[in-house]
Structure 1
Amino acid sequence: MKKSIIIALLLFGVFVQAQDKKWTLLECVNYALENNISIQQSELDVDLAGIDKNQAVFNFLPNLNSNASFNINTGANINPATNQFENSTFRSANGGVSSGINIFSGLSNWKTLQRAKINQIASEYRLDKMKDDISLFVANSFLQILANREQLKVLRAQNEVTKENLKNTQDLVDAGVLPQGDLLELKATDATQAQQIIAAENALFISKFGLAQTLQLKDYQNFDISDEDYGLVPATILERSASEIAEKAKEEINDVKIAKANYELAEKDLELARTDYFPTLSGFIGYNTRWASSQINPFTGEDIPFVEQLYLFDGTSVGLQLNVPIFNRFNVRNNVKRSKVQVERLKYQLEQAELDLESTVYQAYNDAKNSKKTYEAALQTEEARRLAFEYAKERYDVGLSNAFDFNQSRTAYENAQSDVVRTKYDYIFRLKILEFYFGLPITDLN
């Protein structure tokens, strides 16, 4: 009984701990990298590329094969042991082993190995790009949750102020200081804010739900992120020039690496296509033996035993085989032409990838600088709206303004607060993108 109680308490403790789990950005990113289905599929592609590279190495080895056959012949047939026609029923068997090796084929095996190595590197680049994309998506989703959560706090704080004003206004209306219309105006504002809070709660849940799905978590209802209040990340990345960040991005971002690897693969495919112009030389060695049931020793008149036949009728073969391409309906030439076209196409794609990356970095740099200015302007606007709201509140409290003007001032202040939240997290994400292009981790928000 005591054991059952202890186990139940332990399970309950684990359950409560799971319910209270608050995910940090680093935990979210690491979990996504370990469990995301797209990443797992890319890892399988890397494994296949490794298998292809190993096979390219094994292609340098000679092959080894064996063969065997057993036959029952009736009527007039050639006895495989004597090579004579026999009009009788007899059994026969053949067996052998052979090995062959590629001596020269235009260095195709070597070039195939080089291509397999490049393809393995390219698959690793694609895996890294998938991880980068997932990390950026998780970071954006995480910041969206933070923004939605902070926006909800702002709305709730605003509604608390409204309820306090509503209480004060009710007292003033009861005392005959303010008209009933002011009270109704505040009640309408309170109802509107309640709707906004519901919408903000829904937006917060949807953003949490989306991140939980990305992490492949099943318990959407209880998923939550850390309660830590994040401030602005350092903007030291903006101290660097856009050209410096762009040059660094060419070394760090996998889009250009993938395009370069694809171009190198096309060059190897061209080299492989040209190997078909060369003659091929291969060597072979084989051993064969045979047996027949009706094999008679001409000296004794007795059947030759099975094992003795194997020694009597065995043989070996050693040789070289040379194949020289003379005319193949221009297949090789056209394959080479196709490969040349593909090389040119991927060369342009590489150049375009570098141009696109440079353009993207410059755009991200300008976005980060502009988002900083927008955030700073939003802070100034919020401060000005706060002072205007406090002034309007003072006038309203002494009866020098009506509820409509007071609500207009408050609405402007509330919108300014919302803009601060929105521009703050937009600025943070723009900075993180710029740091990502410079090769810095995106998991640090402190």
Structure 2
Amino acid sequence: MYLFGTTTYYMDTLKKFFLTFIYIIPLFVHGQDSTKTHYTLEECIALALKNNADAQKSASSTSLAKVDLNQAKARLLPTIDGYLSHGINTGLVTDPITNTNISQNISSGSQQLSASLTLFNGLNRLRTIRQQAYAYEAYQNDEQRVKDNLTMDVILAYLQVITARDILEQTKQQRDVTQKQVERLTTLNNDGAADPGEFYDMQGQYSGDQLAVLTAANTLKSNIVILTQLLNIPYADELSFEAIDQIPSASTDMMDSETLYQHAATSLGILKAAELSKKSAIYGLKATRSLYFPTLSLGAGLDSRYSNSTTGRGTYWDQVQDNLGKGASLTLSIPILGGLQRRMDVARAKIYLHNAEIDLENAKNNLQQQSAQVLFNLQTAKEKYQEQQKQVEAYKESFRIAEVQFEAGAINSVEYLQQKNKYDQANIGLTVTQYEWQLRQRIANYYNGDR
């Protein structure tokens, strides 16, 4: 008894440990994934393609199109059906073997096996296979279109986060510069050597700089929330993102819009999806028209019966073999009048094809226009950055001179703050134009097929 109780105790303990291990390990692994707080742009793109709901739904639509294609192929196979029944009857019944009425309790049954194969139906099934094959490819390319759009959305959101972070750092630096002047004027004011107007002007500027820091911090958090929505991950204050320091080369040759359009038509999924959808609609119309033709089918079957109403007929298996019947048939079905259903189906298929042609033409025009716009935006972003650089250099020197003059008492606080604000705004503008150029270059590269 003691040994049995001890064994039971250890078995229960081992069981509890095993169950704890099963439940805790997945949580630990999940916790390891959830502890990641620092991301690069490439990691964000990969995470969005994996987690984003739109990307997942698009992949599911592609899988359903694959199922439809397999189903269309399976319709070429013959159909085989089996039937087996067994019953007990009492009173006046019909003997299934002799087909005579008898009055006794009998046990009887029947067995059937039938097969059917469509030999010809106006090529409907073959054309349906082509229709579903093109539809499947169209869904694949539409899935790629969703991923392309998601990738560009992530790049935009990521660069907005980086821009907001850099602007926050600049506003903090600008506030710190003002703070030093406030501290210097506070010391002079305590000694009675400062102009009160300049002292309070500088304090007002410092409060404005503090507000700018708060606004920039809020903008950064809002942009991170937008990015996490695309990545489908929880927001956390600890999230951080790798900086992008590379500036596109100003000497990069600008390609023409027609070349970019041709590359985009090859690399992006939007135009391919529209072209394949049109081909699918063409074969959908052909498959629908083929329903006007007769259908020729080949059929074959086996059937047998069993009854215990009369002795001497042998066992169940003996009766199945003795009563076995075989048959084959050719069936020609000719459509004559079906409530004009086929005519309506053809009319509907024509409309689907017409819509697909409109979608294709619209996709070509949109892609051509977008390709041209991408290059316009890229050229403008590059020129804005170059001009902003010149402005920053000019205001940097003017602010340096104003700072020296203000500390020497040669200019008042109004003039000093005007120069400081110009320099601060120029630096913020440089950050914005820098990442705008980066964004436009990446979009152009994506249209060009560079991933």
What's the TM-score, normalizing by structure 2? Answer: 0.87
Instruction: Answer whether contact 2:88 2:105 (CA < 8 A) is retained.
Output: yes
**8 Å contact 1:259–1:353 — kept in the other structure?**
yes
**Quick check: 14-23 or 96-105, which moved more?**
14-23
2:50 matches 1:34: yes
**Any conservation in 1 of the 2:250–2:382 contact (CA below 8 Å)?**
no
Residue pairs, 1:331-342, within 5 angstroms: 331-342=341-352
Q: In the alignment, what sits opposite 1:437?
A: 447
1:370 maps to which residue?
Answer: 380
2 CA distance for matches of 1:351 and 1:223? 44
CA distance in 2, matches of 1:239, 1:274: 50
C-alpha distance in structure 2 between counterparts of 1:293 and 1:236, whole Å: 98
Please show how residues 63-102 of structure 1 align to structure 2 within 5 Å.
Answer: 63-102=79-118
- Contact between 1:235 and 1:431, CA under 8 Å: does it hold in 2? no
Decide which of 355, 364, 370 is 1:354's aligned counterpart.
Answer: 364
Moved more, 127-136 or 149-158: 127-136
Whether the aligned pair in 1 keeps the contact of 2:225 and 2:235 (CA below 8 Å) is no
Check conservation: 1:276, 1:332, Cα contact below 8 A: yes
Question: Structure 1 residues 280, 191: CA separation in 2 closer, same or farther (over 3 Å shift)?
Answer: same
**1:275 to 2:290 alignment:** yes
1:128 is aligned with what amino acid? Q
What is the CA deviation profile of residues 77-114 of structure 1, one whole-angstrom value per residue up to 9, with x for unaligned ones? 43221122334443321001111111111112211221
Name the CA distance, whole Å, in 1 between partners of 2:352 and 2:99.
Answer: 56
The one-letter amino acid of 2:214's match is I
**Residue 135 (str. 1) matches residue 154 (str. 2):** no
Partner Cα distance (1:237, 1:391) in 2: 36
**2:310 aligned to 282, 285, 295, which one?**
295
Q: Which residue of 1 aligns with 2:183?
A: 167
Letter in 2 for 1:91: S
1:16 positional shift: 11
**Any idea what SS the aligned residue of 1:101 has?**
strand
Bigger mean CA offset, 148-157 vs 387-396: 387-396
Distance apart, 1:303 and its partner CA: 5.4
Q: Counterpart amino acid of 1:335?
A: D
Describe how 1:300-315 pairs up with structure 2 within 5 A.
302=312, 304-315=314-325
CA contact (8 A) 1:237 1:435 kept: no
Q: CA deviation at 1:236?
A: 6.6
In 2, Cα distance between the equivalents of 1:274 and 1:17?
Answer: 55
Distance in 1 (CA, whole Å) between partners of 2:61 and 2:176 is 55
Structure 2, unaligned runs of 5 or more: 1-27
1:144 to 144, 154, 160: 160
The 5-angstrom pairing of residues 230-241 of structure 1 reads: 230-234=245-249, 239-241=254-256
1:154 Cα deviation (Å)?
0.9
Equivalent residue letter for 2:446: F
Residues paired across the two proteins, number: 424
Deviates more, 1:304-313 or 1:424-433: 304-313
TM-fit CA distance, 1:143:
0.7
CA distance in 2 between counterparts of 1:18 and 1:282 reads 60
- Following the alignment from structure 1 to structure 2, what is the Cα–Cα distance between the partners of residues 293 and 172? 123
Aligned match of 1:119: 135
The verdict on how the C-alpha distance between 1:237 and 1:327 changes in structure 2, with shifts beyond 3 A counting, is farther
Deviation at 1:75, TM superposition (A): 4.5
Pair 1:275–1:349, CA change in 2 (3 A): same
For residue 65 of structure 1, give the secondary structure of its aligned residue in structure 2.
strand
- Identity, % of aligned positions: 24
Summarize the Cα distance change of 1:16–1:437 in structure 2 as closer, same or farther, 3 Å threshold.
closer
After superposition, the C-alpha distances for 1:44-78 in whole angstroms (9 at most, x for unaligned) are 22222222222222222212111011233345443
Letter in 2 for 1:241: D
Aligned to 1:3: none
Residue type matched to 1:376 in 2?
Q
Aligned-pair CA distance for 1:171: 3.9
Tell me which of 391, 396, 399 is aligned to 2:406: 396
Q: Could you say which residue in structure 1 is the equivalent of 2:330? A: 320
2:439 is aligned with 1:424: no
Mapped contact 1:263–1:347 kept (Cα < 8 A): yes
Distance in 1 of aligned mates of 2:318 and 2:429: 99
In 2 relative to 1, CA 373–223 (structure 1 residues): closer, same or farther, beyond 3 Å?
A: same
CA separation of 1:159 and 1:89: change in aligned 2, threshold 3 A = same
| 2:240 is equivalent to residue 224 of structure 1 | yes
Is the 2:75–2:125 Cα contact (8 Å) retained in structure 1? yes
> Given the superposition, is the C-alpha separation of residues 392 and 240 from structure 1 closer, same or farther in structure 2, using an over 3 Å criterion?
same
Separation in structure 2 between the aligned mates of residue 180 and residue 23 of structure 1, nearest angstrom = 49
Shift of 1:167: 2.4
1:180 alignment counterpart: 196
What amino acid sits opposite 1:231 in the alignment? Q
Determine the C-alpha separation between the residues in 1 that align with 2:244 and 2:286.
58
Contact 1:36 1:214 in 2 (8 A): yes
Of 349-358 and 338-347, the range deviating more from structure 2:
338-347
Q: 1:257 and 1:364, CA in 2 relative to 1: closer, same or farther beyond 3 A?
A: same
Cα offsets for 1:358-394 (capped at 9, x unmatched): 1111112111111222222222222222233223223
Which residue matches 2:222? Answer: 206
Give the secondary-structure state (helix, strand or coil) at the position aligned to 1:260.
Answer: helix
Among candidates 264, 268, 275, match of residue 253 of structure 1:
268
Distance 1:292 1:418 in 2: 96
